[in-house]
Amino acid sequence: MAAEEPAEIDAFDSVLDAIGGTPLIRLARIAPPGGPRVYVKAEFLNPGGSVKDRAALAMVLDAERSGALEPGGLIVEGTSGNTGIGLAIVAAQLGYRLAVVVPDKTSREKIAILRAYGAEVVTTPGTVPREDPAHVRQLARRIADERGGWLADQYDNPANPAAHRETTGPEIWRQTGGRLTHFVAGVGTGGTISGAGAYLKEVSGGRVRVVGADPEHSVYSGGDGSPYLVESIGHYRHPDTAEDLWPRSYHLDVVDQVVPVGDRESILVTRRLAREEGLLLGASAGTAVAVALRVAAGLSPDDLVVVVVPDSGRSYLSKYYDDGWLDRLGVPVGHAGELTVADVV
Ligand code: PMP
ipTM of the complex: 0.99
Residue 56's CB is within 10 A of a number of other CB atoms, namely 34
- Residue 212 Cβ inside 6 Å of ligand 1? The answer reads no
Chain segment 167-220, per-residue pLDDT in tens: 999 999 999 999 999 999 999 999 999 999 999 999 999 999 999 999 999 989
User: Any residues with CB less than 8 A from the CB of 46 and at least 6 apart, and which?
Assistant: 18, 19, 20, 22, 53, 54, 86
Q: What gap in Å lies between CA 56 and CA 164, rounded to an integer?
A: 11
How many Å lie between the centroid of ligand 1 and the Cα of residue 174?
A: 23
- Residue 311 Cβ inside 6 Å of ligand 1? The answer reads yes
Closest Cα to atom 12 of ligand 1: 188
Identify the pLDDT of residue 227: 84
How many Å lie between the centroid of ligand 1 and the Cα of residue 9?
A: 34
Taking 60 as the threshold, does the pLDDT of residue 23 lie above it? yes
Q: Which of 44, 45, 51, 210 to mutate to test the pocket of ligand 1 (most atoms within 8 A of CB)?
A: 51
Q: What does the mean pLDDT of the chain come to? A: 92
- Residue 46 Cβ inside 6 Å of ligand 1? The answer reads no
For residue 282, name the pLDDT band (cuts at 50, 70, 90): very high
Q: What is the pTM of this model?
A: 0.93
Identify the pLDDT of residue 131: 83
Q: What gap in Å lies between CA 127 and CA 111, rounded to an integer?
A: 18
How many Å lie between the centroid of ligand 1 and the Cα of residue 157?
A: 14
Which atom of ligand 1 sits closest to the CA of residue 188? 16
CB 345 within 8 A of CB 292: no
Ramachandran quadrant class, 206 (left: phi over 0; alpha: psi -120 to 50; beta: rest): left
**Mean pLDDT, to the nearest integer, of 254-277?**
97
Q: Is 52 a catalytic residue?
A: yes
Q: What is the DSSP letter of 236?
A: -
How many Å lie between the centroid of ligand 1 and the Cα of residue 257?
A: 18
- Residue 315 Cβ inside 6 Å of ligand 1? The answer reads no
CB 101 within 8 A of CB 79: yes
- Residue 73 Cβ inside 6 Å of ligand 1? The answer reads no
CA angle, 50 as apex, 325 and 30 as ends, to 5°?
Answer: 65
How many Å lie between the centroid of ligand 1 and the Cα of residue 234?
A: 9
Which atom of ligand 1 sits closest to the CA of residue 154? 14
Which ranges of the chain does DSSP label H, i.e. alpha helix? 52-66, 82-94, 108-116, 136-147, 159-163, 169-175, 191-203, 239-242, 263-277, 283-297, 323-328, 341-344
